[in-house]
Structure formats: structure tokens, C-alpha cells
Amino acid sequence: METSAIPPAQRPRLMRWPLALALIAVAACAPSDPEARAAQQWSVCEGAGYPQQRLDACSAVIASAMTEPARKAEALVYRGMLRAEMVQDARAAADFGRALRIDPTFVNAYLERAQLHFNREAFDAAILDYDAVLDLRPGLESAVSMRDAARRQLEDGRLSEIELLTRSLVERPLDASLWNSRCWLRAVSGEELDLALIDCNESLRLDPRSAATLDSRGLVQLKRGEYALAIADYNAALAIEPGRGHFLFGRGAARLRMGDEAGARADFAAAERAEPGITRMYQNYGVTI
């Protein structure tokens, strides 16, 4: 038997030497001073290295107690961008949201989250974020262009949905929710308000206590300039589902157009408390105050 072979028990130990030496080399290169180490992590986070390496560095910056809020917000945006590239959409959105909680005026956080929404075809949400950007940076060309693109995509989607609903109603003409859905889409587009009213009336004939349909018809009446009728529909919806921000804002918009400024302001304030962001949402429905 040969006796010069390496005993099996020693082989794993010898095979680990290259990895151990590599780890020692990496540790030797890492700065021992906390501030220098933090600076190195930040450099990697905002740099152009491997995505996972950058993501880990950004996470270290975010987790460090030494990181100032402004830099933490930046690191969150960088990490969100990396996660978006890795198709980790929920985590990316959470990072952008955390950055905006630190700094509600952080334009890049809104822009990146808007792009994430756009790529996911969540065009309503994208438009809200582009609106926020333009509030902070009026006329920013990239935001204007992308918001217009999102609006076109949203409108094309609504038209396609109306066609699908029309085909579905042929098969299910007694489905009140289908009539309401088509009413709502037409109300939001504002181009077929007479047909929208017919849809809502049919939905309410089938289901008279649908708060959602009363809300839809309220928007139709608001856009038709029938403000007293709109208020009546929103009041009826609120009687069924009290405190809903959606209904309160619609009623406020109708009251404002009738000259009841005090009542309108009270409704707007209550609506924002119930559903933060409802004012921007109604802007996307074509209703401004």
C-alpha cells in the first residue's frame, strides 16, 4: 500500500486554506476606523459594483447608527433601485416609502417609485408620484413626459376595460357591479357622461343600496354640473358607509362649486383624514379644487 498519500482526515483542512487566506486578505483591506469603514460602505453603495455587493453595502449604511437621516434616505433609494432591478418590487417600494418618511421632499424617491409603478402597470399610482414630483419641481421635463405616458396608458386601459365590460354585460345583464364598473370608467374619462348616467341608474335599479354606485353617479353628476344631485348621491352613499373619504371629497367638490366654501373645506379635511392622498386621487379623476 502506498504511504505517501495525504491522510483523508487532513484533506478538508488543507482545502480550506485558500478560502481562509482570502478572508484574511479581505479583512486586512477593511478599514478598522468606524468612520472610514462607513465611508467605504457608502462608496460601494452609491458606486457601480456588483448589485448584491452594493445592496449589502447600502443595507449596512441604512442599519448603522452613525448614518445621518439624509444619507440613510439616499441609501434607501439606492437599495430600492437595486431591488427593482432584481424584480423585488414589494421590497423596492418599501425602501422608497421609508426614504420618503425620512424626507417627504425627496424628489428622486418619488421618481424611482413612480418608475416602479409604471413598470408594474400601476399607472394610477405612478401618476400620483409624478404629480408629487411636479409639486416639488414644477415643469421637470422627465416627470411631465412620464406622467403623460402613464395617463395615455391609463386611458387606453380604461377603454379596453369598457369593451370587456360591454361584452360581459351581454352575458350577465343582471350583474349590478358590471353596470357600476362601466359607469365609473366612463365617469372618470368624462367623455360619455350620458351613457355613464344610464349605466349607474341601471346598477342602482338592480342594487339600490350600493354605496359604490351612488359614489359613481355622484361623480357623473359632478362632471355634468348637476351639483345638487351630486350632493344627494354622496349623502346617500355616506348614510350607507359613514366616514368614507372618497364620498366626503366628492361631496366637498360639489359643495365648493355651489358656493358652500365652509362645508367644502370641512369635507376636504375629513376626507384627507380618512384617506390620505384623496385630493391627488381626485385630480386623476379630473376633479380639482
* Alpha helices (H) in 120-175, listed in sequence order: 123-136, 141-171
Residue 6 inside a domain? The answer is no
Give the residue with greater pLDDT, 93 vs 10. Answer: 93
Does residue 139 fall inside a structural domain? yes
On whether both 126 and 62 belong to a single domain, the answer is yes
Regarding whether 134 and 39 lie in a shared domain, the answer is yes
Cα dihedral sign, 93-99-105-107: negative
- pLDDT the model gives residue 37: 86
Same structural domain for residues 137 and 213?
A: no
The three grid cell numbers given for residue 258, joined into one nine-digit string: 355651489
Same structural domain for residues 89 and 182? no
Burial group, residue 256, by CB count within 10 angstroms (0-12, 13-18, 19+) = middle
Specify whether 204 is located in the same domain as 143: no
Q: What is the pLDDT of residues 195-213, one digit of tens each?
A: 999 999 999 999 999 999 9
Distance, CA of 175 to CA of 89 (rounded, Å): 35
Rg (CA), the chain: 28
Quick check: 40 and 31 in contact, CB under 8 A? yes
For the record, the C-alpha cell of 175 comes out as 350583474
Please report which confidence band the pLDDT of residue 7 belongs to, taking 50, 70 and 90 as the band edges. very low
Share above pLDDT 90 across residues of the chain, in percent, rounded to a whole number: 72
Residue 20 lies in a domain: no
Residues 180 and 268 in one domain: yes
pLDDT score of 45 more than 70: yes
Could you tell me if 106 and 199 lie in one domain? no
pTM greater than 0.85 (yes/no): no
The pLDDT score that the predictor gives to residue 108 is: 96
Phi, psi of 285 (to 5 degrees): -85, 0
Question: 196 and 280 share a domain?
Answer: yes
On the question of pLDDT at 5 being above 60, the answer is no
Of 107, 133, 148, which residue constitutes the final position of a domain? 148
Judge contact between 57 and 70, C-beta under 8 A: no
What is the average pLDDT score of the chain?
87
Is there a domain that residue 154 lies in? no
Interval 147-195: pLDDT, tens:
999 988 888 887 788 999 999 999 999 999 999 999 999 999 888 999 9
User: How many Å apart are CA 186 and CA 256, to the nearest integer?
Assistant: 23
Tell whether 116 and 186 lie within a shared domain.
no
Q: What is the CATH number of the domain that holds 131?
A: 1.25.40.10
Does 218 reside within a domain? Answer: yes
> What's the distance, Cα to Cα, between the start and end of the chain in Å?
94
In this prediction, residue 32 carries a pLDDT of: 56
Q: Are residues 116 and 188 in the same domain?
A: no
Q: What's the mean pLDDT in 269-276? A: 94
- How far lies 94's CA from each of 90, 178, 215, in Å? 6, 34, 31
Which residues, 6 or more positions from 240, have their beta carbon under 8 angstroms from its beta carbon? Answer: 209, 211, 214
Are residues 133 and 111 in contact, defined by beta-carbon separation less than 8 angstroms?
yes
Rounded CA separation 249/245 (Å): 6
Last residue of some domain: 83, 116, 148?
A: 148
Give me the number of domains the chain comprises. 2
Candidates 167, 104, 168; CA nearest to 136 is: 104
The last residue of a domain, from among 132, 148, 164: 148
Exposure string of 230-252, with b = 16+ CB inside 10 Å and e = fewer, is: bbbbbebbbeeeeebbbbbbbbb
Tell whether 7 is covered by a domain: no
Which pLDDT score, from 0 to 100, does residue 36 have? 84
Domain span at 43: 34-148
Domain assignment of residue 8, yes or no: no
* Chain segment 211-250, per-residue pLDDT in tens: 999 999 999 999 999 999 999 999 999 999 999 999 999 9
Whether residue 9 lies inside any domain: the answer is no
Considering the domain architecture, whether residues 177 and 111 belong to the same structural domain is answered as: no
Give residue for cell 481562509: 20
